[in-house]
Amino acid sequence: MIRLPRRSLFAAALALPMAARAQAAWAPTRPVRLVLPFAPGGLTDILARAAAEQLSARWGQPVVVENRAGAGGNLAAEAVARATPDGHTLLVATQGIIAINKVLFERLSYDPDTDFLPIAMLAEQPNLLVVSPRALPDATDVASLVAKLRATPDGLPYGSNGVGSFTHLSMELLRATLGVPMTHVPYRGSAPLLTDMVAGTIPVALDGLATSKPQVGAGGALRAIGVTSARRFRAMPDVPAIAETVPGFDASPWYGVFAQGTTPEPIQAGLEAAFRAVLEGPGWAAVLAQREADAMPQGRATLATLMERERRTWRDAVRRSGARAE
């Protein structure tokens, strides 16, 4: 009979509960819902479905994407806030729900500061700072645009996708950072805005990558002079970050996954581990490359700090803009 030393037996005894705990890490016991505040087809929807497919394989449970568009994302947020905090109903959100709506809307049926906590970041995709060569032939980079803005006492007009939209608030953030006057001209979406920019009616705007990229580059009618991310965007490496001229500027849309604020810690940890395994794997890198998006840092502590910063940034931008949701 082989006898193990007492120290080895003691170590083995200690290790058993740890192994048991590792094996018993939280996992869903029924289908998981990813609730989105947007209609199918956009980047949020595409990313959520790609993550759902990989999570389903990992968990052995269906992960279903549920689109609940409307009311500036508040319908989706309310549905998740009221769901049981057991890890089976999650919110996929952007700055709107988490950082903006609390001051943009007069009343909310949920509190984004306490009802949601970050689990993971799917991606970020910067907006483009675009100018109309017809209206601003000499604005070839951010520095020359800034010089033009500072030389125009009455302020240049700028376009956006609507009052209170992310592009509106991002330009307000840039305007306030530079300390220059500008006049907001809201549009009902990117298509009419870009049409007027091509015609030279609107000289400058921030716009989404998917809609503005076809209009820039070789043969394009518009000129991209900056991206809103803190660093250059790998899909457009020749376009500088605005932050290279305006230090500290960072206004990129991100796409995050949130659980209810009262979700128990073991469930939070299980969700975080599963999402990190997906988002830090090679399969997800391929998804981001295909969709021209960038990865973001992970870890609940890191994301909690990011959310604090985002709330301050965008709520200040809303207050400065004077925007209110109808």
DSSP codes, 71-129: GGGHHHHHHHHTS-SSSSEEEEE-HIIIIIHHHHSS--SS-TTTSEEEEEEEEE---EE
What is the model's pLDDT at position 325?
Answer: 86
Q: What are phi and psi of 227, to 5 degrees?
A: -115, 150
Which pLDDT score is estimated for 217? Answer: 79
Q: What is the CA radius of gyration of the chain?
A: 23
Return the number of other C-beta atoms located less than 10 Å from residue 309's C-beta: 11
* C-alpha dihedral sign at 220, 222, 225, 228: negative
Q: End-to-end alpha-carbon separation of the chain, Å? A: 81
* Cut 0.85: pTM above it: yes
Task: Write the CA distances from 307 to 77, 94, 121, integer angstroms.
Answer: 16, 11, 11
Query: Which residue ranges of the chain lie beneath pLDDT 50?
Result: 1-23
d(CA 74, CA 169): 18
Which residues have C-beta within 8 Å of that of residue 106, sequence separation ≥ 6? 324, 325
Burial 25-47 (b: 16+ CB within 10 A, else e): ebbbeeebbbbbbbeeebbbbbb
The helix/strand/coil state of 295 is coil
Structure-token pair, residue 32: 């998981």
* pLDDT value of residue 20: 39
Burial 211-220 (b: 16+ CB within 10 A, else e): bbbebbeeee
CA distance 84 to 172: 38
Task: Mention every residue, 6+ apart, whose C-beta is less than 8 A from residue 322.
Answer: none
User: What is the Cα–Cα distance from 183 to 171, expressed in whole angstroms?
Assistant: 10
Q: Are 88 and 80 in contact (CB under 8 A)?
A: no
pLDDT for res 24:
60
> How far apart (Å, rounded) are the C-alpha atoms in residues 116 and 112?
6
